[in-house]
Amino acid sequence: MKIALIGTGKMGSAIEKLALSQGHEILYKINEHSLNLLHPEYLSKADIAIEFTSPDAAVNNLRSCLIAGVPVVCGSTGWQSQYELIASEFIEQNGTLFYASNFSIGVNLLFELNRLLSGWMSKLPEYSVSITEVHHLQKLDKPSGTAVTIANDIIKYDLNYEKWVLEENNIPKNKAFVPIEALRAQDVVGIHTINWKSAVDKITMHHEAYSREGFAAGVFLAALWLKNKKGVFTMKDLLFQS
């Protein structure tokens, strides 16, 4: 594949390393110093774009890919409030978008388990839920996109919850709120923990990433799966749809 790599940070570097090891070509490496390469004249030469940037840049980058007619795999987080708008634009204009807040296979299995357990917990209000996420000091969005996905799925499947809150915002505790604790530490790739507690016991689901190689492998799994497809897709389509 000829790849336009949009974003040259930690994930971009991991993706570049894996791409080259598998014989793919990095056609462009695009960052804030080379935004001219987002022009359709350049992007249209790529087989696929892989986008890992910042919350502020992601939406414009995705629209550039749509205009250029290049399929895009996106892992940027922090822009989910605009996801439905961007997804509708890709569908209306016959584009191709694959989005995931986390490309780890293990995390996406955690997502599916979380959906199942949240549905069961809807009938067990004696259990209360909390989420903790830990990431490296350079991570820009807080809480992580993965934690937001977990929280939104809890709200969707457990009718006892209405919204999620970031604990540091000093919002008064409310049984209808899903609290998220977001911690930052040196050299942590990503840790997510979901706790369901009652007066008599606790159920914990936990995922810890040891390196970014698992994320990069998921990105390429998505990129290869996306070939000849039109529409908007997620890891749930890739992993759980027959």
All residues at 6 or more sequence positions from 149 whose CB lies less than 8 Å from its CB, including other chains: 101, 102, 111
Q: Cis omega (within 30 of 0) on the bond before 143? A: yes
Active site residue 206: no
In angstroms, how far is the first alpha carbon of the chain from the final one? 25
Q: Which of 24, 139, 192, 207 is catalytic?
A: 139
Active site residue 139: yes
The residue behind tokens 């350049």 is 42
Q: Which of 135, 163, 173, 207 is catalytic?
A: 135
For 73, other C-beta atoms within 10 Å of its C-beta total 27
Q: What is the distance between the alpha carbons of residues 59 and 79, in angstroms, rounded to a whole number?
A: 7
- State the helix-helix crossing angle for 55-68 and 83-92, rounded to 10 degrees: 0
Catalytic residues: 135, 139
